[in-house]
Structure 1
């Protein structure tokens, strides 16, 4: 009977795979957060050398903290029934904490460090304890206890970084975030409580795929928002109008390339998986890179629209070319996860983009963005030629076919 107590929180096999309206509402906080991340990146537009490296490192750290909060929530709602009042309360509470992190993010490395860290720790420490209490006697209650235990380990580093000298904030928070990601990767091992690797969790695979696709679209929507805000606020000129047009075409190409076959079949692959948690874990890392690449590309739009034929700088090259290059790398990885093959069109596009990079360092930003759009167009055309006249493939993920020898009762 003890194992049955709290079982109503678990997702039943008949539960819908679609994201609930509450989860879509929850994503609104992360629309704000991603916009703030993009703005921090854009503020680095005039930086060079070590200042650029430190600025990118700080913003990347804040993004990774936000991503961990969002990703944990996506897994929770894929593992537990989101229609249950306690899970809904957890999601709304996480949304509020995420909104605090979003509004403090522009100065989170400066005077707003404490509220950012406090909101993060509220989610990482308190949320799993609430879920564990709601599960009562169910064996799965040990999993959130593990999460809370590891969060307590990293909490002193977060607080020391927030309260200590500014110069120590980045290394202390980097160490804290490394602990949190290491715990996620290892399955939060603790003495007497054992380990619970995410790849062994029983989850709603279709729901998790839906959440990753939605986050990609949110990031893509943020890039469209950047386009509209920057172009509407700048003095009109034919050069800026051309940059606006090419940037929009680039976003449309990113959408096309992502959803062509592999992105479209992510839900099917997770639904067919023997161990959906294993494929979901790999897909989580891939979508982290995809979302980051879209944000970086959006920053490139802002730099180009503001100064389409300005002097080239290392900072704009990092975003205008680096963002799409990272997207192609992540999309190659997604192709392998779904079909077990290397995407030749994306490899060709990546190689062409890298070959052009030394030349783009000496050309105007508008030229760089145009070359990027041309390369992405090439990838999309190669995709269309390869699939022309062929039926839609069935996912054959090598990761999804792998079965685990570990069967833990809490999985």
Structure 2
């Protein structure tokens, strides 16, 4: 590691891999934000055709904007010492911007578009400059300059989308967000100074794993809030009580399936990786899908508890079945990242859900959720059976094994 001015901000090897109290405080804003995302998904669930597709697209875009803010903050606290005052100021400032985005999110594609965009740009453009200034002469400042430059390049799309006609907002913001994600994947390349090799970054891998596990639990906690809020707000009936119980069991199964072996070994895998940045990048993408799947599943809970024996609506299957399907897809990916293999039990569950989905279009919502819970229970039982037959495994991730290359002074 290159020493020099600003080096005191770098996270030392002796730093704790656990999330700091400040980061847990930061997550409170995202508890609220994820609730807003779930409610917005629920608001479009009753639509059909183009209205449904457009509503889902808008909500997905807003979620991905929030996720980018959370992910960048997690990487910052994995690379820099969170106990330093300037990093704490950055995290608290980001928390406030995230709270503004969450407050405006229900109408962010309508009349509250400007404050949402300004809060997003304040984090993406201004925050890296603050970190670069704090790093002073340290070579890592070039990463922050790259990020800020790319974010500034897409800022006109965000602002024109916020201030312009409503019809242009979705395509302009989608283009801007796509560039922001692509730039991150490419390492924010710039002329003369090149790109930052994100996969080669020196980070606290155990800390990054801890944060990914925590955001999954936060999303799962949001689903529990939905279950409780919807059931307590509706008139009592035996059907709603049964839907409440099945929804809770489904969330418990999602927790069990995630942490069984692979999810529980994420910290070990990132701690052992010779290039934790590479495995951390893959894990971040996987957890994007996992968190999104839990939010979508929570909307299914809301629909079923509200109308357990209502008329079958094929569009509801996007939430009741689509959320768990997306979760199993992401969990298969996580299994590969940790062990280098594809999970047979999760593939069985995935195929089973896809096969029964056409029939569920004619079932009541309660029946659909019950089948989903049964398939997830089958996956859990197959996992438990396999665990009894084999000793505990160590992580054997095929990602991040290579020798750290010439990372330069930015790594």
Provide, for residues 129-165 of structure 1, a one-character-per-residue CA deviation record: whole Å limited to 9, x for no partner.
0000000000111110000000001100000000000
Higher mean alpha-carbon deviation, 187-196 vs 96-105, is at: 187-196
Query: 2:128 matched to 1:111?
Result: no
Please give the alpha-carbon distance, in whole angstroms, between the structure 2 residues aligned to 1:402 and 1:245: 47
2:9 alignment partner in structure 1: 9
Please give the alpha-carbon distance, in whole angstroms, between the structure 2 residues aligned to 1:275 and 1:400: 4
- Under a length normalisation based on structure 1, what TM-score does the superposition of the two structures give? 0.99
Provide, for residues 227-277 of structure 1, a one-character-per-residue CA deviation record: whole Å limited to 9, x for no partner.
000000000000000000000000000000000000000000000001000
1:277 alignment partner in structure 2: 277
Query: 2:95 matched to 1:95?
Result: yes
Please give the alpha-carbon distance, in whole angstroms, between the structure 2 residues aligned to 1:3 and 1:89: 23
Are the counterparts in 2 of residues 73 and 91 from structure 1 also a CA contact under 8 Å? Answer: yes
Are the counterparts in 1 of residues 200 and 405 from structure 2 also a CA contact under 8 Å? Answer: no
Query: 2:32 matched to 1:38?
Result: no
Please give the alpha-carbon distance, in whole angstroms, between the structure 2 residues aligned to 1:406 and 1:178: 29
1:193 alignment partner in structure 2: 193
1:219 alignment partner in structure 2: 219
**Structure 1 gaps, min length 5:** none
**Structure 2 gaps, min length 5:** none
Please give the alpha-carbon distance, in whole angstroms, between the structure 2 residues aligned to 1:239 and 1:69: 40
2:202 alignment partner in structure 1: 202
Are the counterparts in 1 of residues 11 and 80 from structure 2 also a CA contact under 8 Å? Answer: yes
Q: CA deviation at 1:404?
A: 4.7
1:156 alignment partner in structure 2: 156
1:84 alignment partner in structure 2: 84
1:342 alignment partner in structure 2: 342
Are the counterparts in 1 of residues 289 and 330 from structure 2 also a CA contact under 8 Å? Answer: yes
How do 1:289-300 and structure 2 match up within 5 A? 289-300=289-300
Please give the alpha-carbon distance, in whole angstroms, between the structure 1 residues aligned to 2:129 and 2:392: 44
Q: CA deviation at 1:226?
A: 0.1
Please give the alpha-carbon distance, in whole angstroms, between the structure 2 residues aligned to 1:409 and 1:311: 62
Q: CA deviation at 1:362?
A: 1.1
Q: Aligned pairs, how many?
A: 410
How do 1:12-411 and structure 2 match up within 5 A? 12-388=12-388, 390-411=390-411
Are the counterparts in 2 of residues 293 and 327 from structure 1 also a CA contact under 8 Å? Answer: yes
Please give the alpha-carbon distance, in whole angstroms, between the structure 2 residues aligned to 1:387 and 1:197: 38
Q: Which stretches of structure 1, 4 residues or longer, exceed 6 Å deviation after superposition? A: none
Q: CA deviation at 1:405?
A: 3.6
Please give the alpha-carbon distance, in whole angstroms, between the structure 1 residues aligned to 2:260 and 2:319: 24
Are the counterparts in 1 of residues 132 and 144 from structure 2 also a CA contact under 8 Å? Answer: yes
Q: CA deviation at 1:200?
A: 1.3
Are the counterparts in 2 of residues 19 and 211 from structure 1 also a CA contact under 8 Å? Answer: yes
Q: Give the direction of change, closer, same or farther, for the CA distance of 1:46–1:409 in structure 2 (3 Å limit).
A: same
Q: CA deviation at 1:313?
A: 1.5
